[in-house]
Amino acid sequence: MNLIHPSSWSEYELMDSGNFEKLERFGKIILIRPEPQAIWEAVLSESEWNQKAHAHFTREQKDNFRFGEEVKGGWNKLKPMEDSWQIKYQYQSLQLTLRLALTGFGHVGLFPEQGSNWNFIYDRISSWPQKGKVLNLFAYTGAASVVARAAGAEVTHVDASRPGLNWANQNMTLNQLKDIRWVYEDALKFVKREVKRGHHYNGIIMDPPPYGRGPEGEKWTLQEKLNELVYLSSQLLEPTSAFFILSMYAVGLSPLVGLNVVKTHFPGVTPEYGEFFLKSKTERDLPMGTFLRFTR
């Protein structure tokens, strides 16, 4: 089992964490956001956090350890800043520009720990003589879709959020790319149809939430649906020149869960698996979910 983190990203920094929050720098913007796993005490003082930060997102809730579907709270700006800005990511010949913004859920449109997966995607596609087709499920604001397209793949981007699709389209345009296929649909329903159609992909990326709703109210629960989704995906993935990536952010869910599901439906593969984390100069490294990936 491996621990991985984005090791060479100059425009992102985890500055500190603790007391159920994290202090992060995205380019020139510094934010304080909730973090249920940061149960320890922060290294920097509260006054240092507030002096550094441009904005602070708070949640009104009784349970510090879980975030419910209903969000109460919001952003308090501590310094003048725009609601939207851009950040850059560089890896080899990949020059990525992404739009960030303050959202009502406390997100900014980016999960920085995914940088390790972006590198993996770019390396795999760049090594293929024919760049192939990539399917990105629960694709959010599309950073992985943009990376795959920049590497030359045909990309299908599936998400059940219209604002997320619009945001992803902006990220594509920012990077002077075109022709990503946008699909507004429940991911599981889309995959079932693709299996019936006999379609195949060289890369499948999935980042399923612990729970969610599709465009028509379809209920998604990770523990109930992941096994079926991975089974169907095994029928879509090409036997060679192919990769598979699974990320999970359910607090308390072991990397072994994803490993066992994938080994069930992809016999014979040897996945790399483990945990994402964000490295901090204060030596309070922050766990950020699990990953599994393989090539064949």
The CATH number covering residue 221 comes to 3.40.50.150
Q: Do residues 77 and 92 both lie within one domain?
A: no
In a domain, 199, yes or no: yes
H or E element that contains 30: strand 29-34
pLDDT beyond 60 at 64: no
Q: Are 104 and 127 in contact (CB under 8 A)?
A: no
184-225 tens-digit pLDDT: 999 999 999 999 999 999 999 999 988 888 888 888 788 899
Query: What gap in Å lies between CA 167 and CA 102, rounded to an integer?
Result: 13
Q: What is the pTM of this model?
A: 0.93
What's the total number of domains in the chain?
Answer: 2
Q: Do residues 78 and 99 both lie within one domain?
A: no
Q: Which domain holds residue 13?
A: 9-82
Tokens 């087709």 sit at which residue?
133
In a domain, 106, yes or no: yes
Q: Do residues 181 and 231 both lie within one domain?
A: yes
pLDDT at 65: 46
pLDDT beyond 90 at 253: no
pLDDT confidence tier of residue 67, bands split at 50, 70 and 90 = very low
Q: Do residues 19 and 94 both lie within one domain?
A: no
3-state class (DSSP) for residue 236: helix
In a domain, 2, yes or no: no
In a domain, 3, yes or no: no
How much is the average pLDDT of 11-17? 97
In a domain, 290, yes or no: yes
pLDDT at 72: 64
